Structure 1
Amino acid sequence: MPITTDFLMTLATIVGSKHLRTVESELLVYECDGYTIEKNVPEVVVFPASTDELSRVMKACAQSQIPVVPRGAGTGLAGGCLPIGGGVMIATTRMTAIEEIHLRDRYAVVQAGVVNIHLNRELAGSGYHYAPDPSSQSACTIGGNVATNSGGPHTLKYGVTVNHVLGVEMVLPDGSIEIFGGPRGTNEPLDLIGLMVGSEGTLGICTRAWVRLTRDPAAWRTLLAIFPTVADATNAISSIIGAGLIPAALELMDQGIIQAVEAAFQYGFPLDAGAVLIIELDGLEIAVQEESVKIAALLEQHCVRETRVAQSAAERAALWKCRKQSFGAIGRLSPSYCTQDGVVPRTRLPEILSFIQRTSEKYDIRIVNVCHAGDGNIHPVLLFDERHEGELSRVLQASDEILNECIRLGGSITGEHGIGVEKRAFLPKLFSPVDIEVMSRVRSTFNPENLLSPGKMFPAGSGCGSEHIERVHPGKQASA
């Protein structure tokens, strides 16, 4: 149904008129997330300050049959908060309270709009931290992390978001408020927390989370290993994991990324290196020391040029700043870029990176690579200029070929960015029609009218309403 003046007055009554955005110039800010290839402008953006306000907004939308899409910080990279059908966008950026911290019981209660890194700043000096650390953690929100089951550099040892969520409060599409789990987790026979975390805003909107706190390690070592080639670096990764060593983080940056971050941050990366690995070990001092010696020996077997060890907390932080802000630094290389997200078995990393190089040559597109290499999660970044005719088409074709190759090598189409709108067409390549039908029926149980995040995750014809929504073409806005 169309959005009427009466409907806007209802929203204003709930959140206050200054917490609505309806002017086109202001709405343009919300036309996409970090996946900038597809864009569409919502008809209104509303900023609730509490679960109650968000619930009342959802009830008003359900009553008027108006589609809704949630948005956190907009750092997603798969179009998860793209307002395909126009309608109402609900932004959680006013819900920023860290409500409780219980060190003795090792959990915290946070609202959905809390920026990931703000929780750790609050915990500084307590001996505990919140382990999930997406590369966008200085901007992304915990509600968005819950929606996409975000990963990050330290997931190799500590796991993804779902491994650190004890409970979630969700507002369902009809406006009802449900709590799944809580401070002690859940003993329910169905893993409803696992269902909600990673559901990408298609089952409900996360408004609050009970998150697990992790004790700070007693010691750490952060190594920078410099290699002449990407192949040497990826073979070293396989040797480290094959030896039974599990670093807290094991990241790869190739020469293109090295050049971008060095220009941005002047850390001292060698510009002629083929690749570098950032290897972080943590735990008891004696264990960390033993592991660092073993890893140094393994690196020597794979033509490592140099191994540096961070000598202070400040040096370690500077190195991680380079890694986590590498996507921003890529702006120095190209006016436009598309970040892909695939997964392959660790031992197939040399093959997929070699394939990416051949794809780069085939489509005459520069591709640079940064990887959560320890768990086989690749992020090829395709550089282009959308102002040049034909470049975007080549980028999309190259992206599809890379994801298809991930599947062929026994991997998957996403490691942490989610499906959103970007990868819907790939689901039938991973799942059978029966699998997709079962997942669609689960979604319909929570979202029977398909008013919440319509057109997300599932391909057309899956019974989730995707077939009724025109795909937003690059450079074109869909009709609201």
Structure 2
Amino acid sequence: MKMPQPDSGLIARRSKIAQDLRELIGDDAVLDDESERRPYESDGLAAYRALPLVVVLPDSTAQVQQILKYCSAQHVKLVPRGSGTSLSGGALPVEDAVLMSVARMSRIVEIDLENRTARVQPGVANVRITEAVKEHGLCFMPDPSSQAISSIGGNVAENSGGVHCLKYGVTSSHIVGVEAVLPDGEIVRMGGAYAGAVDGELDLCAALIGSEGLLAVMTEITVRLTPAPPAARVVSLGFRSVEEASRCVGAIIASGVIPAGLEFMDRRVIDAVSSMLGEQHPPSVEAILLCELDGISTEVDALIEHVQSIAQTFSPVDIRVSSSDAERERLWKGRKVAFGAMGKIARDVYVTDGTIPRSKLPDVLQRIDTLSKQYGLAYANCFHAGDGNLHPMVLFDSAKPGDLEKVEQFGADILKACVDFGGVLTGEHGVGVEKRDLMSYQFSDVDLAQQYRLKLAFDAQEQLNPGKMLPASCGCFRSGPLPSAYYESEHSGITRF
């Protein structure tokens, strides 16, 4: 679809805002030429795009404060952005809003070994925190697959998970405090400087985690550091069917074992990864579970035997156990590159996420297979099986008329199935625009109204990240209409390109 041309009023508005912001934070921190703004037109949900009005690149809390004060005074909406890896459209621009990228705010400010915390700016890549403290035997445990590039600010905004969230918890379990700038430019600190610090009766720090940029712009984050386990080994279990693999997941957890990670990959993912890494599996294997056990060596050895014993109940046809760190990393590499590897077998891949009770894994996976036949679209499954966080990937061709519309409906039906089976719409990707119009499927009008009230408590003028998370049906965005593109599509709400 051809992108609509901006009207003369929008061009004049852009020119004035860009000039004003240059005077505030400098020429090199403001992008208003179309070629400069184009790289920011989409996040990881690349099917939907919109050119931001202006892009700003602050490098300090003071500059963030100046920008927000200006936008508040001039009634300019603003979309915060980290590294842009969001898969739900959480960082998708609005054509009449400033987009603020915190990519330049990428310093690790302080490492406090005594209290096992680190203060970091929001643009720091997730993996850099662990790299910075590894020599001290510490790590930052949340590890989304995109950790090499996803920013900690984005991880906090989406409450990201990762392979190790089953045992160690998602991002919210590892955040001690935040510094944030409110929409009117006020700087606030929430939480404490060390684990266990209390900030009054209301945990407002927790309110910011998972808020998807709707409440404030985080400028500094204090994270909890975790001692790296002394030993960790991986068991790769190959099964003849998806059902056997999914039932094995429930059996492992029911036995009392909580693995550090328990991941699922189906045959389509296995083939894609094999062609990239050369890791071959027997043709009879239709699904693999990767189960990591960690702790002291003797404990890990005992857990490995216990998990293998449980797995035997489901007749695995291939079992591999890592005996070195190099082998462990090799087994995990297939999981880490899985989503990228799908690009080898499909022109386009749509990834969604929903979370379900582990006991319902076989039922929901069967529902996805039925929906695949109904829509005539192939799919692949690779997800955090231990905590029931699904990441189904629908394969399609965006150049084929009607395919994207079918993908949207297919994805919506998957998420509805998650709710129908007692789960929720998202696990770690957030709501963004992708799931916004499905929120009323999970939440009542009363629930949505309460979420909206929280939004207004922080952002009374509805300035931050308009059109995300909260559906129009709950009375949101009363301060003015959004561009029509945000409500053009029933499920995504964004004009498709």
- What TM-score do the two structures reach when normalised by structure 1? 0.96
Comparing 462-471 with 296-305, which one deviates more in the overlay? 462-471
Asked whether 1:87 is paired with 2:87, we answer no
Q: Shift of the alpha carbon at 1:319?
A: 2.2
Q: Which residue of 1 aligns with 2:429?
A: 417
Alpha-carbon distance in 2 for matches of 1:464, 1:85:
19
Alpha-carbon distance in 1 for matches of 2:416, 2:135:
46
Q: Which residue of 1 aligns with 2:35?
A: 25
Alpha-carbon distance in 1 for matches of 2:115, 2:465:
35
Counterpart residue type for residue 265 of structure 1:
L
Structure 2 residue matching 1:360: 3-state secondary structure:
helix
Q: Is the 8 A contact 2:79 2:213 kept in 1?
A: yes
Q: What is the aligned counterpart of 1:386 among 355, 375, 398?
A: 398
Alpha-carbon distance in 2 for matches of 1:156, 1:31:
34
Counterpart residue type for residue 437 of structure 2:
A
Alpha-carbon distance in 2 for matches of 1:269, 1:190:
51
Q: Which residue of 1 aligns with 2:287?
A: 275
Q: Shift of the alpha carbon at 1:394?
A: 1.1
Q: Is the 8 A contact 2:248 2:310 kept in 1?
A: yes
Q: Which residue of 2 aligns with 1:257?
A: 269
Asked whether 1:468 is paired with 2:478, we answer no
Alpha-carbon distance in 2 for matches of 1:111, 1:220:
30
Asked whether 1:13 is paired with 2:23, we answer yes
Alpha-carbon distance in 1 for matches of 2:73, 2:308:
63
Asked whether 1:128 is paired with 2:138, we answer yes
- Alignment of structure 1 residues 149-228 onto 2, 5 Å: 149-184=159-194, 185-228=197-240
Q: What is the aligned counterpart of 1:99 among 99, 109, 113?
A: 109
Q: Deviations over 1:400-431 (max 9, x none)?
A: 11111111100111011111011111111222
Asked whether 1:293 is paired with 2:276, we answer no
Question: Is the alpha carbon distance of 1:291 and 1:258 closer, same or farther for their aligned partners in structure 2, counting shifts above 3 Å?
Answer: same
Q: Shift of the alpha carbon at 1:345?
A: 0.5
Q: Is the 8 A contact 1:15 1:49 kept in 2?
A: no
Q: Which residue of 1 aligns with 2:380?
A: 368
Q: Shift of the alpha carbon at 1:478?
A: 6.0
Alpha-carbon distance in 1 for matches of 2:270, 2:297:
30
Alpha-carbon distance in 1 for matches of 2:78, 2:190:
22
Alpha-carbon distance in 2 for matches of 1:141, 1:336:
24
Asked whether 1:58 is paired with 2:49, we answer no
Counterpart residue type for residue 177 of structure 1:
I
Q: Shift of the alpha carbon at 1:225?
A: 0.9
Q: Shift of the alpha carbon at 1:265?
A: 1.8
Q: Deviations over 1:312-364 (max 9, x none)?
A: 21222222222122111111111111101011110100011111111111111
Q: Is the 8 A contact 2:282 2:318 kept in 1?
A: no
Alpha-carbon distance in 2 for matches of 1:478, 1:401:
20
| Structure 1 unaligned blocks of 5 or more | none
Counterpart residue type for residue 149 of structure 1:
N
Structure 1 residue matching 2:84: 3-state secondary structure:
coil
Structure 1 residue matching 2:291: 3-state secondary structure:
strand
- What TM-score do the two structures reach when normalised by structure 2? 0.93
Question: Is the alpha carbon distance of 1:477 and 1:21 closer, same or farther for their aligned partners in structure 2, counting shifts above 3 Å?
Answer: farther
Alpha-carbon distance in 2 for matches of 1:286, 1:418:
39
Alpha-carbon distance in 1 for matches of 2:264, 2:158:
23
Q: Shift of the alpha carbon at 1:439?
A: 1.1
Q: What is the aligned counterpart of 2:368 among 351, 356, 369?
A: 356
Structure 2 residue matching 1:413: 3-state secondary structure:
coil
Alpha-carbon distance in 2 for matches of 1:349, 1:128:
34
RMSD of equivalent CA atoms: 1.8
Asked whether 1:34 is paired with 2:44, we answer yes
Counterpart residue type for residue 233 of structure 1:
A
Question: Is the alpha carbon distance of 1:476 and 1:375 closer, same or farther for their aligned partners in structure 2, counting shifts above 3 Å?
Answer: closer
- Alignment of structure 1 residues 400-439 onto 2, 5 Å: 400-439=412-451
- Residues paired across the two proteins, number: 479
Q: Deviations over 1:184-207 (max 9, x none)?
A: 332421111110100000000111
Alpha-carbon distance in 1 for matches of 2:52, 2:178:
27
Q: Is the 8 A contact 1:39 1:476 kept in 2?
A: no
Asked whether 1:448 is paired with 2:460, we answer yes
Alpha-carbon distance in 2 for matches of 1:228, 1:218:
34
Counterpart residue type for residue 130 of structure 1:
F
Counterpart residue type for residue 124 of structure 1:
K
Q: Shift of the alpha carbon at 1:4?
A: 4.6
Alpha-carbon distance in 1 for matches of 2:79, 2:198:
28
Alpha-carbon distance in 1 for matches of 2:471, 2:494:
20
Residue identity over aligned pairs, in percent, reads 40
Alpha-carbon distance in 2 for matches of 1:332, 1:275:
19
Q: Shift of the alpha carbon at 1:175?
A: 1.3
**Structure with bigger RCO (C-alpha 8 Å, 6+ apart):** 1
Comparing 270-279 with 450-459, which one deviates more in the overlay? 270-279
Q: Is the 8 A contact 2:192 2:199 kept in 1?
A: no
- Alignment of structure 1 residues 290-369 onto 2, 5 Å: 290-369=302-381
Q: Shift of the alpha carbon at 1:309?
A: 1.1
Asked whether 1:44 is paired with 2:54, we answer yes
Q: Shift of the alpha carbon at 1:85?
A: 4.3
Alpha-carbon distance in 2 for matches of 1:414, 1:4:
35
